[in-house]
């Protein structure tokens, strides 16, 4: 959907979209004077623009620690993802990556575009890492070691069972949740007890990404890297590739819905984790990706386009989520809205329908039991709205452009 078409169909999202654009511009212009920190924040903006916007809302000390943590893990992930690296070269690097971050002379060129730039200038990340307080360094080093070892394990091991799937997602995302929680604790801002729930936060996000990225991953050259567990997809086909075929749409959708159902089981623990956060900036940092995830699952559920092209939440809705997620009540409302959208798409003849409904009911029950305002309100919508006056929209667009130009100057 083009920008103009999106605005015409969803003009109510334009104010949030404008605010997101302004925040992105401010994040882009933020470059500390030190060369290593300037490199880190420039790379952060290049490899994850939305993450950069949220991280800038954190206090300086924690912001720096999380920026470095993210870039270290992004570097590790770049090594894992580069299929041109021989396995006998890749595995030792993954296992020793936590040691390389202490060496300001180390770099390993791999990846493409911005990721290649990150790896080429990785000595800047190491320099920034060594400038952090010891407590932050210890957390980042430990989590990098655990993730690197886990990635190395799954380089030559197929994800066969759901247990394998959960283990892989723990290594590449659950450990991120754990590391972030310990960084929050090291900063003296959150409770260490959140450790026990942090894995679900990571798994919910990672499984959503794995589901959404089916087509991109299976078309990867020179060879696909897929993490859909055979224990799930094997119920519906002889190979993951068959779900791309148009005459296998019914099987593809049933497999997709089963995968989404597996992800939904983490929802209640994610809500529990977020409800325990105390710092407002940390809360938004954690909550916005989770709301994006439940929205993405609602969009992907029973959606054959997952196997045909790119399925993503439109930019306007992303902006509305980022602007509207400020309190736990906002999160409960969003989870309830998106779960309701997903529930409306459940086909009772689907093999996983009963379990899907159960997990949706658990999420919605948790949300409704904790609404500060007991009156349910519709917060988010995936569908397009029509019947809005185009002249009004164009006037708003013109005003938005003027505001951007004023701020930019």
Positions annotated as catalytic residues are 168, 212, 225, 285
Beta carbons within 8 Å of 341's beta carbon, 6+ residues apart: 298, 381, 382
Categorise residue 245: left if φ over 0, alpha if ψ from -120 to 50, beta otherwise. Answer: beta
Reported residue count of the chain is 409
Peptide bond into 303 cis (omega under 30): no
Is there a contact between 331 and 337 (Cβ–Cβ < 8 Å)? Answer: no
Residue of 194, 332, 336, 211 whose CA lies nearest to 262: 211
Beta carbons within 8 Å of 234's beta carbon, 6+ residues apart: none
Spatial distance between the Cα atoms of 350 and 184, rounded to a whole number of angstroms: 42
Spatial distance between the Cα atoms of 174 and 53, rounded to a whole number of angstroms: 22
Spatial distance between the Cα atoms of 253 and 247, rounded to a whole number of angstroms: 12
Distance between alpha carbon 340 and the CA centroid of its chain, in Å? 21
Joined together, the tokens standing for residue 365 give 């029950």
Instruction: Transcribe 174-237 into DSSP letters.
Output: IHHHHHHHHHHHHTTSS-GGGHHHHHHHHHHHHHHHHHHTHHHHHT-SSS------HHHHTTT-
Spatial distance between the Cα atoms of 260 and 88, rounded to a whole number of angstroms: 35
Residue of 90, 122, 84 whose CA lies nearest to 105: 122
Give the gyration radius of the chain's Cα atoms.
21
């Amino acid at each position: 959907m083009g920008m103009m078409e999106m605005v015409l169909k969803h003009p109510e999202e334009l104010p949030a979209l404008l605010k997101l654009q302004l925040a992105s511009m401010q994040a882009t212009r933020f470059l500390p004077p030190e060369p290593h920190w300037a490199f880190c924040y420039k790379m952060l903006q290049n490899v994850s623009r939305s993450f950069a916007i949220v991280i800038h809302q954190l206090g300086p000390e924690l912001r720096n620690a999380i920026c470095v943590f993210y870039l270290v893990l992004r570097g590790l992930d770049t090594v894992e993802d580069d299929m041109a690296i021989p396995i006998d070269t890749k595995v030792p690097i993954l296992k020793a990556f936590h040691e390389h971050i202490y060496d300001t002379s180390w770099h390993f060129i791999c990846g493409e575009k911005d990721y290649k730039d990150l790896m080429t200038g990785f000595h800047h990340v190491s320099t920034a890492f060594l400038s952090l307080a010891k407590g932050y360094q210890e957390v980042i080093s430990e989590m990098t070691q655990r993730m690197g070892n886990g990635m190395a394990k799954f380089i030559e091991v197929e994800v066969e069972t759901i247990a394998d799937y959960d283990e892989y997602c723990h290594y590449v995302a659950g450990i991120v949740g754990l590391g972030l929680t310990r960084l929050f604790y090291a900063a003296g801002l959150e409770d260490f007890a959140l450790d026990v729930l942090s894995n679900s936060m990571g798994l919910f996000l990672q499984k959503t990404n794995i589901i959404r990225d089916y087509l991109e991953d299976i078309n990867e050259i020179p060879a696909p890297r897929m993490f859909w567990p055979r224990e799930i997809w094997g119920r519906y086909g002889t190979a993951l590739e068959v779900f791309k075929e148009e005459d296998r749409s019914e099987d593809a959708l049933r497999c997709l819905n089963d995968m989404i159902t597996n992800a939904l089981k983490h929802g209640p623990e994610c809500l529990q984790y977020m409800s325990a956060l105390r710092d407002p900036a940390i809360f938004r940092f954690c909550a916005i990706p989770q709301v994006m995830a439940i929205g993405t699952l609602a969009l992907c559920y029973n959606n054959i386009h997952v196997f045909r092209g790119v399925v993503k939440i439109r930019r306007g809705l992303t902006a509305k989520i980022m602007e509207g997620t400020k309190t736990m009540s906002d999160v409960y409302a969003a989870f309830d809205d998106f779960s309701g959208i997903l529930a409306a798409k459940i086909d009772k003849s689907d093999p996983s329908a009963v379990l899907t409904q159960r997990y949706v009911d658990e999420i919605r029950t948790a949300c409704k039991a904790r609404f500060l305002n007991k009156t349910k309100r519709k917060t988010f919508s995936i569908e397009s709205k029509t019947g809005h006056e185009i002249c009004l929209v164009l006037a708003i667009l013109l005003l938005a452009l003027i505001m951007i130009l004023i701020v930019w100057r």
